[in-house]
Amino acid sequence: MQALGRHVILELHDCDRKRLSNCEFLRETLLEACRRAGATILGNSFHVFSPYDGVSGVIIIAESHLSIHTWPEYCYAAVDIFACGDSLHPERAVEFMVQELKAGNHSVTELKRGILKSLVFNE
């Protein structure tokens, strides 16, 4: 069976609180994570929430997207990496994100998305 994409779910705990609330730092960190993974960057959008300065952001890539949602008050970040095809290396992005957010602990879950039993196309 073949999958159309990989969805990597990264849970980051015990992160640096200041980094989790710094929107520009997070934008640059996600952009660099994309580059390290070999992604083709198309655009991005980020937003800061009050009163805790949590940040939500997404990088749109030709292969799909990377997103982050932070809760500085809990020193927690949720990162999703969705990649279609086989050219992306999400593990490189994961390693970089763990390092840059100074996560005390983390977990990674990978899902195969769009599992196909065969590649038969209807015309």
User: Which residue numbers are catalytic?
Assistant: 64, 69, 84
Q: How many whole angstroms separate alpha carbon 25 and alpha carbon 19?
A: 7
> What's at 43, amino acid-wise?
G
With CA atoms as reference, report the closest residue to 81 among 99, 100, 96. Answer: 96
Q: Are 66 and 9 in contact (CB under 8 A)?
A: no
